[in-house]
Amino acid sequence: MARRIGFFICECGPNIGENVDIDAVLNAVEDMDDVVLAARFGLMCSGPGKDFLKANIKTEKLTHLVVAACSPKQHELTFMEVCEDSGINPFLFQLTNIREQVAWVTKDKEEATEKTIRLAKAAIRRVRYHDPLSKTALAVNADVLVIGGGVAGMAAALRLASPERRVHLVERSSSLGGRVVAQGPIYPTMASGGEMATAMVDLVEGNDWIVVHRYSEVSVVVGFFGNFEVVVTGELEDGGTLETKVNVGAGVVATGAEVLEGKPLEDLGHGSIDGVVSSAELEAMLADGSIGGKGGKAPKSVAFVQCVGRDEVGYCSEICCMNSAKQARLLLEAAKGAKVHILYRDLCVPGRDQQAFLEGAVKAGANLVRTTSVEVGGSKGGITVSHSLGDGKAEKLMVDMVVLSPAMVPPTGTEGMAEMLNVELDPSGFLLEAHAKLEPMAAGIDGIYLAGSASGPRSVSDSIVQAEACAGRVLSSLIPGRTIEPEIRVSHILETLCTGCQTCLEVCCYGAIVYDPMKNVSHINAAICRGCGNCVAACPSNAISLYHFTYKQLYQEIVEAIR
């Protein structure tokens, strides 16, 4: 069918009308190939303007439309709708921006007119090579992936799972529960962390809508909000691995935090002096009753050393002051009259309950000492702790036990996780939220959320608040039965031209391209491709084409633009 292109220039009242010689533009384009109509209108986006377009499309039997008006960011969609209403495929349309990028940036009418003519001609040349594209509606997948089975991951999974929404909970270790399942009493309530987490584990395991993948990690995540394709890699007992493919609409990352190890602790005698333990080791002893409890032993004198590794990591880990106050209370309960010193640099006890909790520890006998530097040494009668009090004075303590409060750090594998999910890392290496204040539970990628300590050290209650927030975001946006319209201006590979070199796989940031070794060609998954066109520019064989930004379309536009 012969092309019948209609060209329309908008005056935008005086905005374009006064700065561009509209008649000169109409004259310049009306003789171009396939142009059957060139017309002007006062305000094209107004009701009468749209009616004017529709009437002309009908009477002139237009097949393609070019509009010279404002930025596509303003009204591209408006005119695409006009096309749809008039039975023209909305992609057989081109808008050229002669307001923001012409009429408003020069007062020289001659120059503006000349530029408008060039842009108009370029748009007309381009539209001749446009192909009709059809939108597809994709049903959203309401299922959710949760990575990490600590309290945050479990809380999110429990809130999300329902007959309409399956949750895949992926846990790297042998069992659910994370850090808290092995904890004794937790601040500020002193309820048993272990019991609380175990109760959650039971609920998760009894939930028909939660699929738990133990000994497993997520190895591939590609796609977008509503439609992610995920590969879960599990470790088998015989040492092999099992790959399970799951499809989900959103993901919650709840990979928690780990306790710093290594030099900052070793410098304070950890690993070389008996009785020097980390707060996590003490936590385990308090939980299993080897210290405190019935029959457990209890040290008579203890020094807590706070902020171990804080300078190295560059941030305060938020939970350690409160944790030491808690552990001090437990030790003082276990051995009445014990001497417990907490050597701190700064105290971090924000929130409604924390201050009173700390004062409770002091009342029970804990001795809070501000210090600037600490040294730990072994000796016959115990452990010596020398520390400076700031004003030049120093103090030496003899204790049975030293508890180091190390910084909390991102779990191993966080970098790979960030890269896989396209989520940024903050300078300390934790996953970065979209906005620290406004969206502390969202990653910068649509459909990926962050819960618990994965984005920085957090208490149990804060971790659960975040998990609930993630669940809220998912429940309010990923609604079963809804459809989404994936990008249709995507790339595709012409098999006949592809040499299977796989250059395109390297450049695609979304993992949208797969290589088929049988055919020795690559394929683009249209549901995952975002349409950036990077692979198109990278392919040495010119085998890739991006719909609506094809080689020919851009070539024609360029050549006419600089004629």
Ligand X SMILES: Cc1cc2nc3c(=O)[nH]c(=O)nc-3n(C[C@H](O)[C@H](O)[C@H](O)COP(=O)(O)OP(=O)(O)OC[C@H]3O[C@@H](n4cnc5c(N)ncnc54)[C@H](O)[C@@H]3O)c2cc1C
For ligand SF4, give the closer residue by CB, 412 or 499. Answer: 499
For another protein, give the closer residue by CB, 72 or 293. Answer: 72
The interface partner of residue 168, options being ligand SF4, another protein, ligand X, none and the CB cut-off 5 to 8 Å by kind, is none
Q: Does 292 bind ligand SF4 (CB under 6 A)?
A: no
Q: Does 512 bind ligand SF4 (CB under 6 A)?
A: yes
Contact 37, 62 (CB under 8 A): yes
The single residue among 19, 508, 547, 557 that binds ligand SF4, judged by CB under 6 A, is 508
The single residue among 533, 543, 545, 547 that binds another protein, judged by CB under 8 A, is 533
The single residue among 21, 100, 261, 468 that binds another protein, judged by CB under 8 A, is 100
| Total binding residues toward ligand SF4, as defined by CB under 6 A | 40
Q: What is the x/- site pattern for another protein, positions 251-280, by CB under 8 A?
A: ------------------------------
**Binders of another protein among 464-493, rule CB under 8 A?**
489
The single residue among 69, 102, 259, 399 that binds another protein, judged by CB under 8 A, is 102
The piece of 128-136, 342-350, 454-462, 476-484 that touches ligand X (CB under 6 A) is 454-462
The single residue among 49, 90, 251, 256 that binds ligand X, judged by CB under 6 A, is 256
The single residue among 157, 431, 478, 535 that binds ligand SF4, judged by CB under 6 A, is 535
Q: Does 187 bind ligand X (CB under 6 A)?
A: yes
Distance CA 241, CA 234 (A): 5
Contact 157, 169 (CB under 8 A): yes
φ/ψ of residue 49, rounded to 5: -65, -45
Structure tokens at 362: 């002091």
Structure tokens at 420: 């896989």
Contact 350, 357 (CB under 8 A): no
Q: Does 171 bind ligand X (CB under 6 A)?
A: yes
The interface partner of residue 50, options being ligand X, another protein, ligand SF4, none and the CB cut-off 5 to 8 Å by kind, is none
The interface partner of residue 319, options being ligand SF4, another protein, ligand X, none and the CB cut-off 5 to 8 Å by kind, is ligand X
DSSP letters along 354-423, please? HHHHHHHHHHTTEEEEE-SEEEEEEETTEEEEEEE-SSS-EEEEEESEEEEEEPEEPPTTHHHHHHHHT-
CB of 527 to ligand SF4, least distance (A): 11
Helix (H) or strand (E) run with residue 156 in it: helix 151-160
Peptide bond into 188 cis (omega under 30): yes
Exposure of 443 in the CB half-sphere (CA atoms within 13 A): 30
The piece of 142-150, 156-164, 379-387, 477-485 that touches ligand X (CB under 6 A) is 142-150
Region of 429 on the Ramachandran plot (φ > 0 left; ψ -120 to 50 alpha; else beta): left
Q: Does 63 bind ligand X (CB under 6 A)?
A: no
Q: What is the x/- site pattern for ligand SF4, positions 194-233, by CB under 6 A?
A: ----------------------------------------
The piece of 52-60, 219-227, 476-484, 538-546 that touches ligand SF4 (CB under 6 A) is 538-546
Q: Does 501 bind ligand SF4 (CB under 6 A)?
A: yes
Q: What is the x/- site pattern for another protein, positions 404-443, by CB under 8 A?
A: ------------------x---------------------
Structure tokens at 369: 């000492």
Region of 148 on the Ramachandran plot (φ > 0 left; ψ -120 to 50 alpha; else beta): left
Exposed, middle or buried, 138 (CB in 10 Å: 0-12/13-18/19+)? middle
Which sign, positive or negative, has the C-alpha torsion 349, 350, 354, 356? positive
Residue indicated by tokens 């007119």: 113
The single residue among 86, 162, 367, 502 that binds ligand SF4, judged by CB under 6 A, is 502
Write b or e for each residue in 452-483: b if 16 or more Cβ atoms lie within 10 A of its Cβ, otherwise e: bbbbbbbbbebbbbbbbbbbebbbeebeeeee
Provide the 3-class DSSP secondary structure of residue 81.
Answer: helix
Whole-angstrom distance between the N-terminal and C-terminal Cα of the chain?
Answer: 28
Distance CA 26, CA 3 (A): 19
For ligand SF4, give the closer residue by CB, 256 or 486. Answer: 486
CB of 65 to ligand X, least distance (A): 51
Q: Does 54 bind ligand SF4 (CB under 6 A)?
A: no
Structure tokens at 100: 């923001």
The piece of 41-49, 161-169, 297-305, 405-413 that touches ligand SF4 (CB under 6 A) is 41-49
Q: Return residues touching ligand X (CB under 6 A).
A: 147-153, 170-173, 178-180, 183, 186-187, 217, 254-257, 259, 279-280, 283, 319, 323, 326, 411, 413, 417, 452-453, 458-461, 463
